[in-house]
Amino acid sequence: MLQTLSARRLITATETIERPTVTIHRDGTIAAIEPDSAPQAADTTLTTTFLDIHTHGGAGHDVMEGTPEALCNVSRFMASHGVGHFLPTTVTAAIDKTLASLEGIAQAIDRASTSAWDPDLARPIGIHLEGPFISHAKRGVHPPAHILPPDIGLFDRFQQAAAGHIRLITIAPEIPGAIDLIRHCAEQGVRVSIGHTNATSAEARAGIHAGARSATHTYNAMRALDHREPGVLGVVLDDDNLYAELICDGIHVAPELVRLWLKAKGPDRAILVTDSMAAAGMPEGEYMLGTFAVTVANGRALSAEDLAQGKHTLAGSVLTLDRAVSNLQQFTGATLQVASCLASHNPARLLGLDDSLGLIQPGQPANFNVFNSSGARERTVIYGRTLE
């Protein structure tokens, strides 16, 4: 007997279907979507599951551990917060450590593409390489000893270790050699995001001209906006073709500037990310981000080393993507349709996966988030299975 899923409405990338009934095959794919004239018992809304393209971990694990246990735990945690797919994101570390982590993550990505993957887990579908080709001036908590000048040969070593799974890379465009590396990555189909950068507006535009397609955690780890030298931030907000991530936790970016970002980028180029680290979903305390210590207190993840010196340097977040979707609605008045699109369809478009990932149509995986009448996520369905 085929399974069915009904709701008051279904939001897709292009339309809203009223009173849908979704029929699901035994293999977890969608058999049919048909409107139902009968009134629904509950005022619920279905959307596709989320895609987080910038996450370092959660549930006490960092993706750079690279072990099956760590990556399965992170994947389970992602799914529990409405994420169906994600890009495990590295952080600057020693070359050997980065290579080993990339190999482990790549193996998880390969497993996730087979029927052996647990359907209750979110699926890693590629890697976001954040560092080491970033600016010392805007490094955030990335260890300065391991930040390196852009190097095509080294990137190729990373990509070989990753079995070709690097889909997104953050690069500071102003560093000597960056333009050549941006062009090289773009030619290989790897999306380039400008971030951890002190670039002027001219340097940012040069990076975009070379092939950069997005910006990493807008506002954070970027040259500040100036009315005479707009810098990289001015270009990010002004360029209608550039995608732009944002960490919508109310800590990394003030609500006023969340609103400015959404007005500037619009519903087609804005992307919600978490930049979450191992402490996401865990009690406050001491955790690791890559190879360095992080202290989590009062909802903030801070560099333990800087904290000991009286500085409060943010080290990722403890945000979840369902909370980011909720926060965006609260901060900006955006509809659930817009907010969910920023966490699903837009990142898929950036990666060139919008023709497959997150589509809600027959033959595609039955991956849904179920929201109540207040706009809060109630549960998640992955491959037709409701997660506990």
The residues annotated as belonging to the active site are 275
Is 18 annotated to bind a ligand? Reply is: no
Is 316 annotated to bind a ligand? Reply is: yes
Edge-to-edge strands, sheet with 300-303: 285-289, 292-297, 300-303
Is 289 annotated to bind a ligand? Reply is: no
Is 314 annotated to bind a ligand? Reply is: yes
CA distance 152 to 177: 9
Which amino acid, residue 119? Answer: P
In contact, 243 and 346? CB cutoff 8 Å: yes
- CB-CB neighbours of 347 under 10 Å: 30
Peptide bond into 176 cis (omega under 30): no
Please list the residues that pair with 51 across neighbouring strands: 85
Look up tokens 């095509």; give the residue: 152
CA distance 48 to 342: 12
Is 184 annotated to bind a ligand? Reply is: no
Angle at 45 between CA 39 and CA 47, to 5 degrees: 140
Q: Cβ-count burial of 140 within 10 angstroms (0-12 exposed, 13-18 middle, 19+ buried)?
A: buried
Is 84 annotated to bind a ligand? Reply is: no
Q: Residue 309 is encoded by which pair of tokens?
A: 């010196």
Rg of the chain taking only CA atoms, in angstroms: 20
Is 196 annotated to bind a ligand? Reply is: yes
Q: Residue 277 is encoded by which pair of tokens?
A: 């680290």
CA distance 190 to 199: 21
CA distance 376 to 388: 17
Is 293 annotated to bind a ligand? Reply is: no
CA-nearest of 108, 21, 51, 7 to 359 is 51
CA distance 271 to 242: 11
Is 375 annotated to bind a ligand? Reply is: no
In contact, 223 and 232? CB cutoff 8 Å: yes
Is 220 annotated to bind a ligand? Reply is: yes
Q: How far is CA 360 from CA 45, 101, 205, 292, 366, in A?
A: 14, 33, 36, 40, 8
Is 141 annotated to bind a ligand? Reply is: yes
Which amino acid, residue 283? Answer: P
Binding region for substrate:
141, 220-221, 228, 252, 314-316
**Residues tagged in the binding site annotation for Zn(2+):** 130, 196, 217
Known binding positions: 130, 141, 196, 217, 220-221, 228, 252, 314-316
